[in-house]
Amino acid sequence: MSYSGKCYVGPWIDKEGNLGYGILVDERGKPRPLSLNWKDMVYPTLEEANETFTRFMEEKKREIAAKPYTESEAIQFVESQYWIWASSYANTAPHEYLAKYKMKYIEDRLDFERFISTMKWFSKPGYFYSRKNEYYILGDYYYWTGWFDNFPCDLINRGHISQLTYRDGYYHYERKKI
């Protein structure tokens, strides 16, 4: 998915009615917390939320400053990674993903940030149904992630190129079994 807008720290009331402070994004007029490891980024104190947000802002700065890979370097990066099958999307949008938070070593995380930079430089416009997206085409795969103006990417998705068609100047996702 592709997002626009900025993330911010703000108050959040969870499902049980508890007040916390979340790292939020406003999507279609409704603020919602971002998630990390599929858990809402909501903290009991404003200080904790701000500390986390500041840490992620430093990561975003590195991501922006990262030198993009050449095509051969990008291929080497993706071939060296362990891609996880997105089983919950197997029938609707089959793809794999790479999660930065699962990477143990800082060098791997820096390589991940470099690939994000590569994607931002070389992606082409496309659509996932009616949602605008950006796709980076490399070999037999296309890659995408969510983009926030001021927050780092933590997840890279990839699908097989056979699921895209090119028409009217855009790539379009088409649901197909692969």
Residue 2 lies in a domain: no
Residue 81 lies in a domain: yes
Burial 9-39 (b: 16+ CB within 10 A, else e): beebeeeeeeebbbbbbeeeeeeebbebeee
Residue 60 lies in a domain: yes
pLDDT digits 0-9 by tens, 123-169: 999 998 888 889 999 999 999 987 677 788 889 999 999 999 999 99
Count of C-beta atoms within a 10 Å radius of residue 43: 20
Structural domain range at position 106: 7-173
Residue 72 lies in a domain: yes
Residue 178 lies in a domain: no
pLDDT digits 0-9 by tens, 76-123: 999 999 999 988 887 888 899 999 988 888 899 999 999 999 999 999
**pTM of the shown model:** 0.81
Q: How many structural domains are present in the chain?
A: 1
Q: Which residue did the predictor score with more confidence, 5 or 91?
A: 91
